[in-house]
Amino acid sequence: MKRGKKGDIYSESLELHRKHRGKIEVYSKVPVTTRHELSLAYTPGVAEVCREIHKDKDLAYKYTLKANTIAIVTDGSRVLSLGNIGGYAAIPVMEGKALLFKKLAGIDAFPLCFERYHMEFADDIKNIAPVFGGIALEDIAAPRCFELEESLQGIGIPVMHDDQHGTAVVVLAALLNACRVTKKKFEDLNIVVSGAGAAGYAITRMLKCIGYNPDLCSSVRDIIVCDRNGIIHRHRDGLYANKYKFIIAEETNKAGRTGTLADAMKGADVCIGVSVPGIITPSMVRSMNKDSIIFALAHPMPEILPADALQAGAAIVGTGRNDFPNQINYALAFPGIFRGALDARATRISDEMKVAAAHALADYVKRPGKTRILPSVLNRQVVTAVAEAVRKAAVASGCARAIT
C-alpha cells in the first residue's frame, strides 16, 4: 500500500475528508422554529435550569449534555506512528474517534486538540470537566501521558488514556482467546513486548497484574520488555531517569536477560509489538516456541506482515488493521468502556472495569479460531456486552454515582 497512487486508501481518505470537510457535526435535539420554542431552549426559560444546577451541580447530568458527552483530548505528540505532529494534524484522528463513539456507542464526543503540551495542561482539562461526563486522553507521548492521567483521577469523572488502557484491554482479550486456540496456558506464557511507551507499559502492567488486585486477573509467567535500546533490565545504565521503565525493570525479566529484541524473542511464546514498522523479522519468529503468537500492532504498518509471520511458523497473528484477520485495536474497547462508565455515571475507571471489559470481549467470541480471536470492531452488540460488564464492575468497585 503506497502513498500517492490514485485509488489507494490514502488518496481515497484524503478525498473523503476534503469532500465532507471533516467527519462530524452538531445537531439540535429540540426544535427552535417559534418564539416560544426559543424561550424554552434559551432565554428566559433556560435561567430556571441554571438555577437548579447551581443548587445541585449533579443535576447537570439530568438537564444537560453532560450525561452522554465526552471530550477527546490530545496534544498531538504521539499520533499513530506519525510521531509528534501537533494539534492541527491530530484533528482527523480525533474526529474519527468521535465518529466511532457516536456510531458504536451512541456517545457524543468532541475533539479538543491542543497545539502543544504545556505545564498547565492538567489544569486546562480540569477546567473543562463541568461540560463532560468523561475525558478520553489520546495520542499523548510517554511519559507525559502517565503523569497527566494520574493527575486527573480525582476530578469526579472518568479519565482514561486509551492508548494505554484501551490497547491493554483488547490485548488481554485477544491473548485469552489465542490461548484457547493454541491450548497454551495463560499462566505459563513467556511474553516479549516490543515498545515501552504508553501501550507497552499498560499491557505489561495488566498481563503481569502489576498494581492490580490478584483476585481480578492472572499473571503470565514472565515478560521481557524491549525499547529502542534493547531489553529493559535492572542494571541498565540510565534506567532510573524514567520511573515507568524502572517499574517495568523491577517487575519483569526475572532472569535478567540482556541484549536485543532478537535475543528476547528466543524461546518466547508471545510477542506483542507496539513499536515501529518492520522491526520483527521472520528469523525472530522462527526462534520462538512452537505455536507462537504474534500481535504486531504498529500502524498503519505492523512490525511484521501477517503472511511473513505465519510462514515463519506463527500459529496466530493479529494486527491493528481492519484489512487483515484478527484486528486487535483499542476501538474494540473504548466505546464500550465509556458507555458503561457513563451509564454508571462513574467517577473514574477502575481496574475492575478494565478487566471486566477484557473478559466481556473475549467471551463474546464463543468459538475462537486462528483467524478469529476477537469480534468485529463494527459490531454494536459487542459494545453493549462490554458496556454492561463495565457498568456492573463500576457498581461493584464503588465507582458508580447514584442516578436520580
Residue 277 is predicted with a pLDDT of 92
Give the bridge partners for 108, in sequence order. Answer: 69
Is pLDDT of 66 > 50?
Answer: yes
Which regions of 114-188 does DSSP assign to beta strands (E)?
134-137, 159-161
Structural element, H or E, at residue 352: helix 351-364
Least confident of 11-15, 114-118, 198-202: 114-118
Q: What's the chain's length in residues? A: 404
Residue whose entry in the numeric block shows the C-alpha cell 457498581:
395
Which regions of 312-376 does DSSP assign to beta strands (E)?
316-319
Give me the catalytic one of 61, 66, 97, 330.
Answer: 97
Q: Name all domains of the chain by residue range, CATH numbers in brackets.
A: 9-157 (3.40.50.10380), 162-404 (3.40.50.720)
Alpha-helical (H) ranges within 64-141 are: 86-105, 121-128
| 8-state DSSP, 30 | S
Percent of the chain with pLDDT over 70: 98
| Nearest alpha-carbon partner for 351 in 173, 202, 145 | 202
Contact predicate 303/278, CB 8 Å: yes
Residue 110's φ and ψ, nearest 5 degrees, are: -130, 130
Side-chain-side CA neighbours of 289 within 13 Å: the count stands at: 14
Under the banding of pLDDT at 50, 70 and 90, the label for residue 404 is low
All cell numbers assigned to 312: 515463519
Percent of the chain with pLDDT over 90: 78
Residue 5 is predicted with a pLDDT of 47
Q: CA 329, CA 323: separation in Å to the nearest integer?
A: 12
Dump pLDDT digits (tens) for 333-347: 999 999 999 999 999
- More confidently predicted of 6 and 181: 181
Alpha-helical (H) ranges within 8-120 are: 9-20, 35-41, 46-55, 60-63, 86-105
Give me the catalytic one of 2, 5, 29, 42.
Answer: 42
Least confident of 3-7, 49-53, 319-323, 381-385: 3-7
61 in active site = no
Kind of pairing, strands 230-231 and 222-227?
Answer: antiparallel
Contact predicate 271/191, CB 8 Å: yes
Largest CA distance in the chain: 75
Is pLDDT of 211 > 80?
Answer: no
Residue 79's φ and ψ, nearest 5 degrees, are: -95, 120
Q: CA 94, CA 298: separation in Å to the nearest integer?
A: 18
Tell me the average pLDDT across 234-261.
Answer: 88
Mean pLDDT of the chain: 92
Residue 119 is predicted with a pLDDT of 75
**Amino acid symbol at 4:** G
Residue 3 is predicted with a pLDDT of 45
Residue 272 is predicted with a pLDDT of 98
Residue 335 is predicted with a pLDDT of 96
Helices (H) and strands (E) in the chain, counts: 16, 10
Q: CA 397, CA 404: separation in Å to the nearest integer?
A: 20
Contact predicate 215/225, CB 8 Å: no
Three-state secondary structure call for residue 172: helix
Give the bridge partners for 160, in sequence order. Answer: 136
Structural element, H or E, at residue 190: strand 190-194
- On the question of a cis peptide bond just before residue 158, with omega within 30 degrees of 0, the verdict is no
42 in active site = yes
Three-state secondary structure call for residue 332: helix
Is pLDDT of 35 > 70?
Answer: yes
All cell numbers assigned to 351: 481496574
Contact predicate 207/191, CB 8 Å: yes
Q: How many CB atoms lie within 10 A of CB 168?
A: 28
Contact predicate 327/377, CB 8 Å: yes
| 8-state DSSP, 138 | -
Residue 213 is predicted with a pLDDT of 77
| Nearest alpha-carbon partner for 193 in 287, 290, 94, 298 | 298
Least confident of 46-55, 203-212, 299-308, 370-379: 203-212
Dump pLDDT digits (tens) for 1-15: 444 444 588 899 999
